[in-house]
Structure 1
């Protein structure tokens, strides 16, 4: 096993450890990221994801942007675009998220993460106001039907979809 594969296995183990709280995930991911140079796109991507998962979107955004600018392998690039767009939506910048996700879907319409990109685009288009309207309920129903078919983000899309009609 090469160094990067072994490192990724340790990163995956952190993400899989349900006993860790958000701060512990950030600390462990940062420890692993420190094994690489500061300009390592994959470690920046993981560091961004840890903060994003903990609700620290303002800290996650510049890390996602830097990782994307440095260049990520296709699988992680697609995830970083989706996660950055979700972060932007949560930061109240839905228009930027919409633009980013539309570009992703136009460039990679049949990609592995096209369904996830579409789900997060629907969330961004639905807006952040959680009042229960027929349009929001329709979006919720469609997203919840899509969830079992997503390769990732099932828990996030489910939670965000349910929030669309929450009081």
Structure 2
């Protein structure tokens, strides 16, 4: 298969998914993934197609394959880390979720979604203090609520130590 055919087939499958024709997109992506098993972008899109349909367990090997390969854009790599970590969490594999999401948050420190999903996975593993710290930091740095902004310094202080007293 030449690059032009690959690009056209992939674009068609992605378009089908965005049009709500998820099963048709998934079938096309499975065919592409079988033909081009080393293609990280196709693996990522195939994982996403499974996730959208609630087929999380089937999505995992495609996420793993996409992250092991090369050629993902920065945005797709971020999406694959978020997708894999979130999928592990949904499947009850909380430690793996924390591992993947922590790595993603370190690689993309400005990504609030990765840190939010990491906080949820940390909650699931009983690491409540770190989960709360992450969420408070996100709230303090990203909220447009005027009253949150007014108390930003205090929220950031308590994010570092929830047991602190004045």
Aligned to 1:149: none
**1:46: how far off?**
1.1
The TM-score with structure 2 as length reference comes to 0.63
Question: What is the rounded CA distance, in whole Å, between the counterparts of 2:28 and 2:11 in structure 1?
Answer: 13
Equivalent in the alignment of 2:39: 40
Counterpart of 1:57 in structure 2 is 56
Look up the match of 2:112.
115
Partner in structure 2 of residue 25 of structure 1: 25
| CA positional deviation for 1:38 | 2.0
How big is the alpha-carbon RMSD for the aligned residues of Structure 1 and Structure 2? 2.8
Q: Which residue of 1 aligns with 2:122?
A: 125
Structure 2: runs of 5 or more not aligned: 126-131, 144-166
Q: Distance in 2 between matches of 1:38 and 1:8?
A: 13
SS of residue matched to 2:54? coil
Distance change (3 Å), C-alpha of 1:5 and 1:26:
closer
- Segments of structure 1 that go 5 or more residues without pairing to the other structure are 129-134, 147-167
Q: TM-score, normalization: structure 1?
A: 0.62
Aligned residue in 2 for 1:74: 74
1:90 aligns to what? 90
Contact (CA 8 Å) 1:64, 1:84: kept in 2 or not?
A: yes
Structure 1 segments of 4 or more deviating over 6 A? none
Instruction: Describe the superposition over 1:10-64 as per-residue Cα deviations: whole angstroms up to 9, x where unpaired.
Output: 233112112x2x5333213334545x52211111111111112222222111111
Is the partner of 2:62 in helix, strand or coil? Answer: helix
Relative contact order (alpha carbons < 8 A, sep ≥ 6): 1 or 2 greater? 1
Query: Equivalents in 1 of 2:69, 2:10: separation in Å?
Result: 18
Give the 3-state SS of the residue equivalent to 1:121 in structure 2: helix
Cα 1:46–1:39 shift into 2, 3 Å: same
Conserved in 1, the CA contact under 8 Å of 2:14 and 2:45? no
Count of aligned pairs between the two proteins: 127
